[in-house]
Amino acid sequence: MASAEFGKAVRRWRDRIAPDAAGLPADRHRRAAGLRREEVAMLAGISVDYVTRLEQGRASNPSAQVVEALARALRLSRTERDHLFQLAGLATPSRDTVPAYVTPSVQRMLDRLAGTPVAVYDAMLTLLVANPPYAALMGDPSGWRGNERNAVWRNFTGLAGRVRHTPQSRRALESVQVTDLRSASARYPADQRLRRLIAELNATSERFAELWESGTVSEERAARKTIEHPHVGALTLDCDILTVAGSDLRVIVYTAEPATEDADRLALLTVLGTQSLVG
């Protein structure tokens, strides 16, 4: 159970973060230098009401996922993030579990790449954070909860996605995703969330169960993807996956070849963001 200090710490840390340090536009008319509750809620992907109740001590059992999201939104150092877990009455994530800590430097990278779709996934391919261009390109993930945020779950359970696949490319994607989970389970055998995800996938998807049982291993990854956007049409983009040293995070970056129709369409998405493109 969270201590009374949990809400005070959240309030204190949001008061010290300037909007531009959190990747938000500066507002000359704001009264306080720090972040508003509405901004923290948006950055963390939780409701304003819940942030308010946490700060006022009226919500006493935040989940590990909520605490992790608040730590990212508040740009906490690793030591501060661990302290927030302790104030929430939760065990500090150990090295035996899949890391979900997004460092302030990675957050700054997302802020700086304001014209490029970028998302950060953990080792079990759960989406941790995405910038606005990524949301505009792939669909706004802010409403996704639980397994909906996991790329393997979305692929094997048929949740709508925008990447165009041939039968061959889909089989390749399935193989490499199963390989990624198999590798993660070997590195983090004590992670209960990972074990639960694998069990639920085995129970839900015959295709996943088949690949998991077969012991399939694959490293074939598509370097280019075609995204079917509902408003600007198809975009063929380069997809690069970068790994963050020491954290086991995957940073996925989408770029277009300069002076192409794909680049023009991507620029349009970046300008208009997630708002409706229908006149």
Q: Where are the domains of the chain?
A: 4-87, 104-272
pLDDT reading at 33 higher than 80: no
The dihedrals phi and psi of 111, each to the nearest 5 degrees, come to -65, -40
User: Across residues 75-101, what is the average pLDDT?
Assistant: 89
User: Across residues 170-194, what is the average pLDDT?
Assistant: 93
> Residue 171 class from Cβ within 10 Å (0-12 exposed, 13-18 middle, 19+ buried)?
middle
135-146 burial code (b ≥16 CB/10 A, e <16): bbbbbebeebee
pLDDT reading at 69 higher than 80: yes
Position 277 scores a pLDDT of 42
Position 60 scores a pLDDT of 80
Angle between helices 192-204 and 167-187 (to 10 degrees): 150
How does residue 196 score in pLDDT terms, banded at 50, 70 and 90?
very high
Position 222 scores a pLDDT of 65
Single out the residue of 34, 84, 37, 95 nearest to residue 62, CA to CA. 84
* Run of H or E residues at 240: strand 233-244
Q: Of the ranges 19-23, 82-86, 144-148, 184-188, which one carries the lowest mean pLDDT score? A: 19-23
Superfamily of domain 4-87: lambda repressor-like DNA-binding domains (1.10.260.40)
Position 275 scores a pLDDT of 55
pLDDT above 70 coverage of the chain, percent: 94
Cα separation, 106 vs 98, in Å, equals: 17
pLDDT reading at 278 higher than 50: no
pLDDT above 90 coverage of the chain, percent: 58
User: Across residues 81-102, what is the average pLDDT?
Assistant: 89
The dihedrals phi and psi of 94, each to the nearest 5 degrees, come to -95, 175
User: Which CATH code, of 3.40.50.620, 3.40.50.300, 3.40.50.1000, 3.30.450.180, is assigned to 104-272?
Assistant: 3.30.450.180
